[in-house]
Amino acid sequence: MADLEKVKKASYQLMYLESAKKNEILKMIAEMIDKSRDIIKNENQIDLEFGQKAGLSGALLDRLLLDDKRIDSMIKGVMEIVGQDDPVGVVEKGYKRPNGLKIYKVRVPIGVVGIIYESRPNVTVDAAALCIKSGNATVLRGGKEALRSNKILGSIIQDAIKKLGVDENIVYILEDPERKYILDMLKAKDYIDLIVPRGGEGLIKFVTENSLIPVVKHDKGVCHVYIDKDASIDKAINIAINAKVQRPGVCNAMETLIVHKDIANEVLPKLKSEYEKYGVELRGCEKVRKIIDVNPADEKDWEAEYLDLILSIKVVDDVYEAIWHINKYGSSHSESIVTENYTTAQLFLDRVDAAAVYVNASTRFTDGGEFGLGAEIGISTQKLHCRGPMGAYDLTTTKYIIYGNGHIRE
């Protein structure tokens, strides 16, 4: 594990870099990505061709794509991170004890963050930028389907770091696609302080079962939209369409639509007509199938993260049944209610157990960029130590700093 030793050593240099220097590195990364568009797109095209031959789904190919729009988005994300306050050194609280000791709780980097991800090469840039901002070195291991894209982006990032006289090992790209190297990462507790997996259920399960290092899971997204009896029909249709079809292959896309029985006869035929325009396959419970002609949904559908143009639909008697269904089958990612009733909205917000809960908005907004974080390491669906989109602040921990004046304990 000689390379990881280099990363650990480099992490101590990064940990104490001034904010201005970290921002200088990030600006250089953005500038060099902008200048390297053609080679990035060329390498990405090779990955896309490989993916097509390998039979990747349309949703996965969409995740893999790097075009000018997405390169622009990566650059924008990096520059937004530049503009953020540095979380390192922030004093959470400070107080003086009766014995005169001055105690401060201060935010500090975690150290070395290992990130294991699939398909989306933009994660290489997002993760590197957030880790640099938060003073953490990072070990990045992308999937084999994005091998060339990740490699070229990693090379650009390291070149930018070297140009500014900083150890390029603060960002280390594990290029070998063999899964055995993931296992090596998960056992490297002397060199890596935190593991963040982003990918399918198989990857998440493998990481959580094998890691000797603390894990923050970016788990699957079984997201719901609940259309309440007091919903605006126009809002409900727009939100339900956007949450499913705007980008179906991502974790914050809706997978199950829930509709109150009192509004189902009005809204479901309209939604079916709209979904047909986008080629969405609909699956419904018995109550749904009495209103519109769709395929039957079973228990597996309520648990499914389709990441595709497939949607399961359930009709419920009231908001309490909707909340029960969401808390049973959801993945604690993102949930939304469409209603004009303030009391019902507050009930939903209070009782739904998820990282992000919306009123009258699409679940598609659960994203580091949309939340003003510039980018995200992942969307944590667990409760410790962070939850929801993980930005630079969430990549820090705390330590106590204590000032005394010859104090000894009696």
pLDDT of residue 2: 65
pLDDT of residue 100: 97
Residue 218 phi, psi dihedral angles, 5° rounding: -100, 85
pLDDT of residue 63: 87
Neighbours of 71 (CB within 10 A): 20
Both tokens assigned to 199: 């990918």
Q: In sequence order, what DSSP letters do the residues of 238-273 get, joined into one string?
A: HHHHHHHHSSTTSTTSEEEEEEEHHHHHHHHHHHHH
DSSP code of residue 335: E
**Residue 127 to residues 113, 209, 328: CA-CA distances in angstroms?**
9, 23, 32
pLDDT of residue 104: 98
CB 141 within 8 Å of CB 124: no
Q: In sequence order, what DSSP letters do the residues of 1-28 get, joined into one string?
A: -HHHHHHHHHHHHHHT--HHHHHHHHHH
Beta-bridge mates of residue 260: 316
Tens of pLDDT, residue by residue over 95-148, are 999 999 999 999 999 999 999 998 789 999 999 999 999 999 999 999 899 999
All domains of the chain in start order, with CATH: 2-216+390-403 (3.40.605.10), 223-365 (3.40.309.10)
Q: In sequence order, what DSSP letters do the residues of 68-130 get, joined into one string?
A: HHHHHHHHHHHHHHHTSPP-TT-EEEEEE-TTS-EEEEEEEE-SEEEEEE-S-THHHHHHHHH
Both tokens assigned to 302: 């309520």
Residue 323 phi, psi dihedral angles, 5° rounding: -65, -45
What parts of the chain have a pLDDT lower than 70?
Answer: 1-2
pLDDT of residue 1: 60
**Residue 60 to residues 146, 308, 410: CA-CA distances in angstroms?**
11, 9, 64
CA atoms of 302 and 309, how far apart (whole Å): 15
